[in-house]
Amino acid sequence: MSNSETLQLAKTLLERPSITPADEGCQQVLGDRLKSLGFELESMIFEDTTNLWARLGQGKPVLCFAGHTDVVPPGDPSDWSFPPFQPTEHEGYLYGRGAADMKGSLAAMIVAVERYLKQVDEPPFDIAFLITSDEEGPFINGTKRVMETLESRNEKITWCIVGEPSSTEQLGDVVKNGRRGSLSGSLSVIGVQGHVAYPHLAENPVHSAANALAELTQTRWDDGNEFFPPTTFQVSNIHAGTGAGNVIPGRLDIEFNFRFSTESTSTQLQQRVETILDAHNLNYQLNWKLNGPAFLTAQGLLINKVQCAIKRVCGYPTKLSTAGGTSDGRFIAPTGAELIELGPVNATIHKVDECVKITDLDTLTDVYQAILEEMSV
């Protein structure tokens, strides 16, 4: 059994069933460790969500570690090899909901900062932690609200390391330096309900919308760029009709989503969709929801230092990627911060028997500490 500081802290966090938006005292555990290091703690509670903003120092550029204590529901515990909220070591892995996403990262961040501060008299930058319990849920009262608060008082994050599980085959092989934007649309095409035997007395919205929908699915929205694939459009839900086979529907409801690159903006995409719908003379209602803008951190100080740290600790280079879904980085990067995501292997996240290799927790701690050291020179 390992005596690793990171492992022990991770287990303390894992035994708390912090299903979104519950924190279940995780931030108290982390805050106590940070307070003993001299961090000033600020608990930001918005509605049902608890957030922690902790900062060491005032007035210097800010290096921030960001993460979340909330986890997705485990499902039926009987499907798990071990109870999901009873952290278990087995054959070199630590099992438990949140082991990889992302309580293991939080534990590694805390221990890395503790070790770093023991070897420096005064860091050349302020160190901060932004921890939320709203990343896996509606993402309304978590990092988004914290960033709005920080921006309102002109408190800026210069560099940010998000502990999302970015690795694919081995720890540190992939670092996320951006994410595609996510834009959702709820489209209702209005027709006139009627009997299928009397189509001249009705207007079928499925027929009316067919050509427009075909054009939307065949449109090339952009060509992507060096970091992003082309923007994609996908229909996720579609419904019309009453269930009866002899009734022409009076309404067609369509849910769709864009995952977009930095070559397109949400405004441009909305305008292009509405232009297509208008060109087909549809009677429609359309509501938009921007889940997050596309963001990208180009090659610069933070990425250079992170690449050096991973090479130094792991012995191999890392690959930059913008693949995957959204993360809370979408609320931090637009404020001007250089941001990357670096965490454990993501093979088991959100799955039954979520786990992380125990040695990876220690390696991740070493990488985070090495980043702090590299940023200091």
Annotated catalytic residues are 70, 135
Binding site annotation covers 169? Answer: no
- Euclidean distance between CA atoms 372 and 108, whole angstroms: 13
Q: How far apart, in Å, are the Cα atoms of 259 and each of 136, 238, 325?
A: 19, 19, 9
Binding site annotation covers 278? Answer: no
Binding site annotation covers 136? Answer: yes
DSSP H or E run through 136 = none
Phi, psi of 108 (to 5 degrees): -65, -40
Estimate to the nearest angstrom the gap between the alpha carbon of 274 and the chain centroid. 29
- Euclidean distance between CA atoms 112 and 128, whole angstroms: 13
Binding site annotation covers 32? Answer: no
- Euclidean distance between CA atoms 171 and 235, whole angstroms: 35
Q: Report residue 271 as tokens.
A: 């305008």
Binding site annotation covers 239? Answer: no
Is the backbone peptide bond immediately before 21 cis, with ω within 30 degrees of 0?
yes
Phi, psi of 9 (to 5 degrees): -70, -40
The count of C-alpha atoms lying within 13 angstroms of the C-alpha of 98, restricted to the half-sphere facing its C-beta, is 33
Where would I find the beta strands (DSSP E) of the chain?
A: 40-46, 49-56, 62-68, 88-90, 93-95, 126-132, 159-162, 174-176, 178-179, 181-190, 194-195, 232-240, 247-248, 251-260, 284-292, 295-296, 319-321, 338-341, 355-357
Is the backbone peptide bond immediately before 102 cis, with ω within 30 degrees of 0?
yes
Q: How far apart, in Å, are the Cα atoms of 17 and each of 21, 216, 327?
A: 11, 43, 21
Please report, in range form, the residues annotated as the binding site for Zn(2+). 68, 101, 136, 164, 350
Please report, in range form, the residues annotated as the binding site. 68, 101, 136, 164, 350
